[in-house]
Amino acid sequence: MKKILQLKEKVLRETAIDVPIADIKTKKIQNILKEMSLALGSQDDGVAIAAPQIGYKLRIFVVSGKIFSTEFLGRGVSQAD
């Protein structure tokens, strides 16, 4: 599993590259999305992750389904926010 990068990493301050919609189904992007999901799932308090956070200079992100859980929503965040 990829390590989630911290603030000092250069890739986090660089401009990410757009990913064309047609590329989303490619094996390369699907593998990156899988890595992102695994990294996000390893964090108890994580609700989203962007590709640069695991070292890819790409403009894609993954959002956890737990943001819709009643436990998460009970922390003062509503679905309308």
Closest by Cα among 16, 9, 4, 74 to 41? 4
Q: Residue 14 in contact with residue 40, Cβ under 8 Å?
A: no
Domain ranges of the chain: 10-73
Average pLDDT, the chain: 88
Q: Residue 80 in contact with residue 42, Cβ under 8 Å?
A: no
Q: Which two tokens stand for residue 24?
A: 């989303």
Give the mean model confidence (pLDDT) for residues 30-50. Answer: 93
For 59, list phi and psi in degrees, rounded to 5. -95, 70
pLDDT digits (tens, 9 = 90+) for 46-63: 889 999 999 999 999 999
The more confident residue out of 78 and 12 is 12
Percent of the chain with pLDDT over 90: 65
- Residue 47, classed as helix, strand or coil, is coil
Give the mean model confidence (pLDDT) for residues 9-25. Answer: 96
The more confident residue out of 24 and 77 is 24
